[in-house]
């Protein structure tokens, strides 16, 4: 996940306003696949006011550390899972290493046209999967 960490470290975090941040992110870089509503929500809630404008609430260094210092073991968690599970993975730039089901009861679906930001790109698809899991 070093590429994701490097991208986080390069991301511009300071803008004169939320409107300027939205304009800078819209259709560019990592945000090029985001629909308008989730991008506007990200800018509305992901920035905090500072003298002279706004800054990302989660710094690039903090975000990068989440990619570089992951201490969880997803394989052990999957082995302990006692209920059916549905895993959605991005078609491009996925952080999920699974291409196929690791065992019965777990389905893995690669969602066409999605990236690392799959939940923002196809929120209805993700919402449906969550509802099925809770049902």
Same domain, 11 and 55: yes
- Percent share of the chain, pLDDT over 90: 56
What pTM was computed for the model? 0.73
Sheet hosting strand 47-50, strand order edge to edge: 14-15, 53-56, 47-50
55 with 48: CB under 8 angstroms?
yes
Inform me whether the pLDDT recorded for 1 exceeds 80.
no
DSSP state of 97: -
Domain boundary among 68, 91, 110: 68
The H or E element that residue 90 is part of is strand 85-90
Give the pLDDT of residue 71.
Answer: 67
- Whether 32 and 46 map to the same domain: the answer is yes
Q: What is the pLDDT of residue 91?
A: 94
Mean pLDDT along residues 62-76: 78
Of 37, 68, 99, the one marking the end of a domain is 68
On whether both 79 and 40 belong to a single domain, the answer is: no
> Rounded CA gap, 76 and 115, in Å?
25
- Residue 135: the pLDDT is 85
Same domain, 121 and 79: yes
The pLDDT, as a whole number, for residue 70 is: 67
Taking only the tens place, the pLDDT of each residue in 80-124 is 888 899 999 999 988 788 888 888 889 999 999 999 899 999 999
- Provide the 3-class DSSP secondary structure of residue 70: coil
62 and 95 both lie in a single domain: no
User: Alpha helices of the chain — where are they, by DSSP H?
Assistant: 2-10, 18-25, 36-46, 60-68, 74-80, 118-121, 123-134
Number of domains in the chain: 2
Indicate if 45 and 88 belong to the same structural domain.
no
Residues 63 and 8 in one domain: yes
> Which of 126, 75, 82 lies closest to 102 in space, CA to CA?
75
d(Cα 111, Cα 113) in Å, to the nearest integer?
7
> Which of 52, 68, 84 delimits the end of a domain?
68
Tokens representing 120?
Answer: 């923002």
- 92, two tokens: 């491009």
Print the domain residue range for 61: 2-68
């Amino acid at each position: 996940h070093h590429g994701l960490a490097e991208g986080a470290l390069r991301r511009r975090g300071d803008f004169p306003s939320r409107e300027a941040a939205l304009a800078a992110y819209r259709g560019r870089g990592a945000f090029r696949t985001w629909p308008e509503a989730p991008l506007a929500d990200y800018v509305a809630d992901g920035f905090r006011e500072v003298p002279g404008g706004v800054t990302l609430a989660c710094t690039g260094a903090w975000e990068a550390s989440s990619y570089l210092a992951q201490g969880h073991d997803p394989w052990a968690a999957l082995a302990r899972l006692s209920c059916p599970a549905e895993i959605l993975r991005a078609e491009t730039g996925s952080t999920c290493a699974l291409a196929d089901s690791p065992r019965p009861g777990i389905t893995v679906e690669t969602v066409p046209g999605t990236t690392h930001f799959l939940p923002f790109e196809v929120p209805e698809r993700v919402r449906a999967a969550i509802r099925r899991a809770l049902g």
